Amino acid sequence: MMLRYLGSTKNLAGCVGGLTGVVLYLTGVVGWVWPLVVVALYLAGALLAPGEKVRLVPDTSASLRASLETMVASVTAQSSRLPSSSVDTVRRIAEVLSDLLSRPDRLAADPDLRHAVERLAGTDLPVSVQTYLNLPWWFAARRASAGEELVAQLGLLEAEAHRVAERFYAAEIDRQADHTRYLRDRDA
């Protein structure tokens, strides 16, 4: 607890205030009451500094990225049981989601987007693959519709992952378009 306070914004602002009091003493502005001035300026800085941000929602990005990597490795290991191209589709979806999860601060700024990414990475994709892999191999091989269902689900999940990525990178896309317009207008 004490170590946490030492690195806090309030302590740092208080230290700046206290150092200001020492500088005032060394320059002769304050006399023998300098210890009181140092303490008063420290307290003023510590009280006026903004508090630390409260984070009630835990950051699950790192654990979801690790889960995605584990799932891709597991799917790759069991590729002979899966319909053709489904392993590549799982890899592509995991790549998009992993990229989004590698920017947790950006995700935290948009709760709806964060929820969509966490749902895709933590529930939808694993459930689709897990449900198919939990079927006995002989049943899944005999019943082609099970494989078709998985391929259809992965197609829908890939499309959704790309829609979420479009929303995630919308500001960068707009900035790039603005810069293109600027360059065209500048040459005109």
Tell me the residue type at 83.
P
| Rounded distance between C-alpha atoms, residue 72 and residue 70, angstroms | 6
Phi/psi at 68 (5° precision)? -65, -45
25 near 34, Cβ under 8 Å? Answer: yes
> Mean pLDDT throughout 69-91?
92
10-49 pLDDT tens trace: 888 999 999 999 999 999 888 899 999 999 999 998 899 8
Q: What is the mean pLDDT of the chain?
A: 89
Of 70, 80, 71, residue with least CA distance to 137: 80
pLDDT at 59: 67
Report the alpha-carbon angle 94-99-105, nearest 5. Answer: 130
Question: Which tens digits make up the pLDDT trace of 93-111?
Answer: 999 999 999 998 888 888 8
Compute the distance between CA of residue 131 and CA of residue 3 in angstroms, rounded to an integer. Answer: 47
Question: Residue 167, exposed/middle/buried by CB under 10 A (0-12, 13-18, 19+)?
Answer: middle
